[in-house]
Structure 1
Amino acid sequence: MSHYRFTHTANLVKLNHILWAVNITSRYMPGKVKCLARALTTYTLMVQYGYVPQLRIGVAKGESGQLEAHAWVENQGLVVIGQLPDLTRFKTLPSLGKH
């Protein structure tokens, strides 16, 4: 019975509400909130509410040769947080597991 309630929790908490909460709380954090913190928070909340997101971390070489990294979350093949105009330039690191 608890599995039934868990799978229906995702229907009660819409993805846009999770993203709204992450975006609002990011405004009140000291300093500039980095993409990794936002992606991890989004990923954790999505898993908690029954979604099956993918946490992506990618690396790329910057214009002056420096290493750059970026984190984002995908759900059903779509980026839900961390979208960048040039996201495809980041080489995605291998996943560490299903969740």
Structure 2
Amino acid sequence: MARQSSFRTATALTGPRWVALARAAAWIFWTRAVLTLRPWNRVAPAFERDPVRSGPPNWSQAKIDLWAVEAVARRVLPEKPCLTQALVARKLLRRHGVDTTLRLGAARTGQRGFRAHAWLEHNGTTVIGRTQGDSYIPFAPLSQSVDPELNL
């Protein structure tokens, strides 16, 4: 029954949503490959290079891209999707004039363990990567921890 529901949903999508899904899928696969093949200190600056588009934010398109990133990631990234989602969403939102902060943090899991998590914030509000009931302690924002002189 879930398959039939997914088929109905897919056939009801408009052109802009199909384009957003394709764009999100391409960026998710590229980002996941780069994160797998390159060390973080070489990857992070690439996601800081694109300037935020000037002018007022285009929230209608930004929301479609956020939906697409979550929809694709839910289906193709069964484990540890948070960093990939946050990086892709950041890149796409910048194209729509939405400036965001990539947050990385950790939460305790018992006496000696911890879980890491990545999420994206806009003006202090989480736009992608919300978690239920976890109290992640954020590290310094990415823009403060990356050396801008570092080149890929």
Q: Which one has a larger percent helix, Structure 1 or Structure 2?
A: 2
Listed as ranges, the gaps of 5+ residues in structure 2 are 1-52, 145-152
For normalisation by structure 2, the TM-score amounts to 0.52
Conserved? CA contact 1:55–1:71, under 8 Å = yes
Tell me the equivalent position of 1:97.
143
Structure showing greater radius of gyration is 2
Deviation at 1:81, TM superposition (A): 0.8
- CA RMSD of the aligned region, Å? 2.5
CA distance in 1, matches of 2:115, 2:57: 34
Report if aligned partners of 1:13, 1:49 keep a CA contact under 8 Å in 2: no
Large movers: runs of 4+ above 3 Å: 30-33
Task: Report 1:33-48 matches (<5 A).
Answer: 34-48=81-95
Structure 1 residue aligned with 2:71: 24
* CA shift in 2, pair 1:64/1:34, >3 Å: farther
1:69 aligned partner: 116
Q: Does residue 62 of structure 2 align to residue 15 of structure 1?
A: yes
Question: What whole-Å deviation, never above 9, does each CA across 1:19-48 have from its counterpart, x for those lacking one?
Answer: 111022214426435111111111111112
In the alignment, structure 1 residue 83 sits paired with structure 2 residue 112: no
- Partners of 2:90 and 2:133 in 1: CA distance: 22
State the TM-score, normalized to the length of structure 1: 0.74
